[in-house]
A and B are shown apart, each in its own frame.
Chain A
């Protein structure tokens, strides 16, 4: 085991992927000599050359579109979108091309492309640097959408994403880049949990809190705080947003009878809506109370000094838990 930050774990995963398969290459803005604005590709161009760690012109559609052509040619591109809010110029290439070419060709053309991006807020950034666009991609058939919450998952899941013959949108919670954890760099991928599987990261009995990416540590903190209040929360780290592991989530909800879903993205038509709907469809009789969503408000991302009022924190999660437990909460304040 090695102690690494998530950023270093991601770097190690890219290093390993480049070493393992010469058809793998990285493309993105500033990923070469600079090593990326978050240094996730630090040192890789020096190790593997400018042909395999490619500084691209400043054009996101161009980055993803040329990755499609490289995939046609048998390459396995890993592209970096510099920030979450910069992905939209590449939207057509991702949803119309990357996502659909396998289907369009009845499986004759594979698109083993990984689209990485620093993601979500909480770091005091400028506008367009704190967005949570995962629902757009989760809604698109043909894509897999994942988000790690620990350095170990970052390392393993990125290697799995690159190894996958399907395109994967890989969201990296930027506020966790500098959080360190133990990472086993040598465990074979075959022994790791599959990419699409969720994990129960804390067991509990009163309610299930489902979170992913940057919200997982917050949910765990909320669970620790709730325990001092005599409330036992089970926390599920979704890991994969699409497909999402209904089996693990439903099995937890069947034990606890209550569901609270947490994400930074706006609630309306968000990932939480899908999770709640699927749980209600499958576990209606086991639910003791209506599921609750704790999400960002339905607003554009606010100015940095106010983001603490937008991104769910420990108290907002506990407010949602209170509602699930039938206690007074902000939810009851408006519905009463």
Chain B
């Protein structure tokens, strides 16, 4: 027989067969397993999740606007993924440490990041302005999948400290092809480290569909490593919250790592530099619009009689205020003095860096203004 190149566009069961608690139309559905983890989620709690998601979406939109206005160099939109980010981050509470990608805006906001944190990195002012120890979040990772190993190592530290805690690694569908992620699952399973892998399957790695990364649902990979997994509707914040609570409990109770595939969709471009119209069918967007995480929860709450226009206005006003802060932090940012680029390369003194600092100061000091005065 003649071998041919295998077609890469075989769809991988994109959305069916996922655990879910709230249907796209807002209808509540029972799930024997997931329901046990969200019994405390009353209407007020659901409204809080809704609020979080709205804030994330609005800050995300603000980021895009600031980039289009030339205030940010780049922005990686997260629209569509709010439920995955908020639901999982709310599950984490204080006893967890998150290792994220660059797209987890929602995780950072839920963990208490300042508005400035969201924009200073993408403005190019600092690589990262967050304090990992304060927020319980590592600095965002740009190298795909590299931080999954950091999450496992952190969890190995938790084991040694005997703490009731866990780490969580946010990875994407593209990262599932990386060696680091596969090594991370080997190390996690081998050591029994309390780590949760949360794979945000947003269907696209820039222009590459998830079918290029896998021929089976990603959640099915984990059991091959000896890691239990769940495939959950990533646009259902309640289901993500429940699944993450299950996974964290599994990890924290000494039973080793757990894996969540949150099936969602990247509604926007990979970044503001990307043009998804070159590779995506508009029908796909329309399909996922119908499964929007915020509209879904709002429909659910309205059906319960627990959400009205006044609630929506209040949340919107809060989002306006937060976005104003984001904007102010961005426009008010002051670029650090040039010599600071030579700081923090090393923790301890380093003769070559010291010499280059002196040289840079001398060079900068050699300029004069129009009156011949040294700068």
Chains A and B form a bound pair: yes
A residues in contact (CB < 8 Å) with B: 25, 51, 56-57, 59, 61-62, 64-75, 77, 89, 92-93, 96-97, 101-110, 112, 141-142, 144, 164-166, 196, 243, 245-247
23 contacts between A and B (CB under 8 A): A61-B149, A62-B180, A62-B183, A64-B149, A65-B153, A66-B152, A66-B153, A66-B156, A66-B187, A68-B150, A69-B99, A69-B149, A69-B153, A71-B153, A72-B132, A72-B138, A73-B157, A97-B146, A101-B139, A102-B346, A105-B132, A106-B127, A164-B348
Chain B interface residue number, banded? 35 or more
Q: How far is the CA of A281 from the CA of B101 in the complex (A)?
A: 43
- Bound-state CA distance A223–B151 (Å) is 51
Q: Which residues of A contact B99 (CB under 8 A)?
A: 69
Tell whether, in the assembled complex, residue B347 and residue A102 are in contact, meaning their CB atoms are under 8 Å apart.
yes
* B38 contacts A by Cβ under 8 Å: no
A51 to B345, CA, bound (A): 31
Asked if B211 lies at the interface with its beta carbon under 8 angstroms from chain A, I say: no
C-alpha gap A112/B347 in the complex (Å): 9
Q: Is the CB of A69 within 8 A of B154?
A: yes
| Contact A65 B146, beta carbon cutoff 8 Å | yes
Instruction: Enumerate chain A residues within 8 angstroms of B139, measured Cβ to Cβ.
Output: 101, 104-105, 109
Q: Is the CB of A72 within 8 A of B344?
A: no
Which of A93, A105, A166 has a CB less than 8 Å from the CB of B146?
A93
Cβ of B133 and Cβ of A108 under 8 Å apart?
Answer: yes
Q: Do A109 and B161 touch (CB < 8 A)?
A: no
Chain B residue nearest in CB terms to A99: B345
Q: Kindly state the separation between the CA atoms of A245 and B97 in the bound complex, as whole angstroms.
A: 40
B183 & A96 in contact (Cβ 8 Å cutoff): no
| Contact of B132 with A69 in the complex, beta carbons under 8 Å | no
Q: Are B126 and A57 in contact (CB under 8 A)?
A: no
Q: Give Cα A67 to B128, complex, Å.
A: 21
Q: A61-B183, A62-B183 are in contact. Are A103 and B345 (CB under 8 A)?
A: yes
Tell me the chain B residues, 150-207 only, with Cβ under 8 Å from chain A: 150-161, 167, 179-180, 183-184, 186-187, 190
Closest to A89 in B: B179
User: Which residues from chain A contact B348 at a C-beta distance below 8 Å?
Assistant: 164-166
Q: How far is the CA of A144 from the CA of B353 in the complex (A)?
A: 12
Q: Which residues of A contact B183 (CB under 8 A)?
A: 57, 59, 61-62, 65
Q: Which 9 A-B pairs have the closest CB atoms?
A: A69-B153, A65-B149, A73-B157, A66-B153, A62-B183, A69-B154, A69-B150, A165-B347, A107-B344
Considering the chains assembled together, what is the distance between the CA atoms of A97 and B351 in angstroms? Answer: 23
Q: Which residue of B lies closest to A51 (CB)?
A: B160
Residues of A with C-beta under 8 A to B186: 57, 59, 62
Q: Do the beta carbons of B146 and A73 come within 8 Å of each other? A: no
Interchain CB contact under 8 A, B352 and A97: no
- Contacts A57-B183, A106-B129 given; 7 further ones with Cβ under 8 A? A61-B149, A66-B152, A66-B187, A97-B150, A102-B346, A164-B347, A245-B351
B157 touches A104 (CB 8 A): no
Q: Given that A57-B186, A68-B149, A70-B156 are contacting pairs, would A104 and B131 also be in contact in the complex, using a CB cutoff of 8 Å?
A: no
Residues of B within 8 A of A51 (CB): 159-160
Query: Which chain B residues in 118-148 approach chain A with CB under 8 Å?
Result: 126-129, 131-133, 138-139, 143, 146, 148
Interface: B334 (CB within 8 A): no
A108 to B127, CA, bound (A): 12
Q: Which residues of A contact B33 (CB under 8 A)?
A: none
Give A68's nearest chain B residue, CB to CB: B150
Whole-angstrom distance from the CB of A93 to the nearest CB of chain B?
Answer: 7
- Residues of chain B within 8 A of A105, CB atoms compared: 127-128, 132, 139, 344
In the complex, residue of chain B having the shortest beta-carbon distance to the beta carbon of A111: B347
Instruction: Tell me if A75 and B157 are in contact (CB < 8 A).
Output: yes
With both beta carbons as reference points, the residue of chain A lying nearest to B346 in the complex is identified as: A166
CB distance from A114 to the nearest CB of B (A): 14
Q: How far apart are the CA atoms of A246 and B155 in the complex, in Å?
A: 42
The CA-CA distance from A237 to B184 in the complex, in Å, is 40
Contact assessment for A69 and B155 in the assembled complex, using a CB-CB cutoff below 8 Å: yes
Interface contact B152-A73, CB-CB below 8 Å: no
Whether, in the assembled complex, B32 has its beta carbon less than 8 Å from a beta carbon of chain A, the answer is no
The complex places the Cα of A246 from the Cα of B138 at a distance, in Å, of 37
> When chains A and B are docked, how far (Å) is the Cα of A51 from the Cα of B161?
11
